[in-house]
Amino acid sequence: MVGLPAAALSRLCEAVTRRTLNIVGAVTTPTLKQRTSGILLHATSLPGPHGSGDLGTEARAFAEFLARAGQRWWQMLPIGPAGYGDSPYSALSAFAGNPMLIDLDGLGVAIDDEALPADFVDFARAGRYRERHLRRAFAAFRPTKEYDAFCVREQRWLDDWALYAALKRAHGDVEWTKWEPGVRDRKKDALSKARNDLAEEIAFHRFVQFRFDSQWNDLRVYCNARGIGLIGDLPIFVAHDSADVWQNRELFHLDDEGMPTVIAGVPPDYFSATGQRWGNPQYRWDRLKETRYRWWVDRFATALARFDAIRLDHFIGFVRSWHIPRTEPTAMNGTWVPGPGRALFDAVKDAVGELPLVAEDLGLVTKEVSRLRRDLGLPGIRLVQFAFGTDPQAPKFKPHAHGRRSVVYTGTHDNDTIVGWYFDRGGGEDSTRTPEEAEKERHHALAYLGREEWMPTAQELAWAMIRLTLSSVAHTVILPMQDVLALGSEARMNRPGKATGNWRWRMEAGANEGHLERKLHEATACYGRAP
């Protein structure tokens, strides 16, 4: 793997920070130690004319909305190129940006008129449409000093990503384990020939990443200038079909054919009676340790050059992870295997400096998980939606039990909207509760609100729960945009265990204007979270 020395990576992060601060001036971005709030909205869910949300005009308009509504944070899901099931948590690269997010209007090329859905993302159609315009822009592109500097700065991942993407297209987009053996196994002569034969395609993918990087940096500066910090999402595991695994086979539990011997997931939980079988390959932490966690240092450096804070998905996995034999059809049969613990974070901190991280400590939290989070000084997550049911952490999720060093959500991308949860009667195909459990949760929630006999509308229920969440003593509150809009289950982002039909929701154009903006600002100010 081509990489930069740790000191150089640290300077890279510092340079990005200095550039941002120089442009922003007196306006300061928030920290996780201040009393603030923000919105969770993935960039693909923004409105816009090109089949999915992107980093263009609507992203800037959303940043303006956040500022006027008294919000300080914009949280997104992972921004890598989505892989299996269009999931941002199954990206084709842990380093590359998603081409779907590139603003076509900023490319300077003619835009085709095509009727793409406005109320959901048709990933296949939108992907083809956007790629057509990116290739058109690439044909007119001539390298610049900025482009050359980008290619040098990001060489540690860019070269192999561009080669992987070109090879994947040349092999009909099948996973890398089905490629011609020479390139599958990264034989030197085969890779040299591929670089020569696919030079134009490789150059295209470098160009795409350059455009993404330029537009991302512009959006971040735009948000920071308005006092808005960006929160990213870093999944602990990477997809098996990814440039990362193909490039670093020695860092994962794989057999001679490149297939995982054990995969990641979780045992039976709230979401699934048979557990969740994610399919990601497990890390060889012993080999990563031998490199002083170099790959992870690079990964954190890239993430912190893009975001002001990072949500660490499945923080539990850094202490222990559920190893499922690949041949098992469910996640019920597995083994807990220790993770790297504090050693990983010490190595990253030594290389890149302070780590503004949020530990997603949901699920089977052990004393060791809690101890590591506290030792690292990281805020954990609290979910108000889970405060009234049978979740083992429910007592800690009630607002009166929140600690100040917490990040509180009404809900996350993995569960129903607050309206969908409340009005779900239980027992349905997408429900994780029986009718009796659903009724008990509703009664408990109303009792907590002091409204036992209340028959709320969707708007009334959503805003009662939003105000309850904002009232928490926790420093940080993040509200999914679907809850602010008081939308039901039709706006749910993901249904764990379902491989298709997720991640498609888009916000209606103009839905966050006028009265909603004022209402959100008033509630935020009421509970001392507005600037």
Q: What positions carry a catalytic annotation?
A: 313, 360, 414
Q: How many beta carbons lie within 10 A of that of residue 12, not counting itself? A: 18
The Cα-based distances of 506 to 3, 27, 41, 43, 438 in angstroms read 37, 30, 9, 9, 27
Quote the tokens at residue 133.
């315009």
Q: Of 256, 283, 396, 268, which Cα lies nearest the Cα of 331? A: 268
How would you classify residue 4: left for phi > 0, otherwise alpha for psi between -120 and 50, otherwise beta?
Answer: beta
Q: Assign 522 to helix, strand or coil.
A: helix
C-alpha 487/C-alpha 454 separation (Å) is: 19
Q: Of 382, 268, 378, 259, which Cα lies nearest the Cα of 327? A: 259
Q: Assign 87 to helix, strand or coil.
A: coil
Q: Of 468, 472, 426, which Cα lies nearest the Cα of 446? A: 468
Distance of CA 64 to the CA centre of its chain: 22
Q: What's the farthest any 2 CA atoms get from each other in the chain? A: 74
Could you say which DSSP state residue 316 is in? G
CB contact set of 9 (below 8 Å; sequence gap of 6+): 297, 298, 301, 351, 352
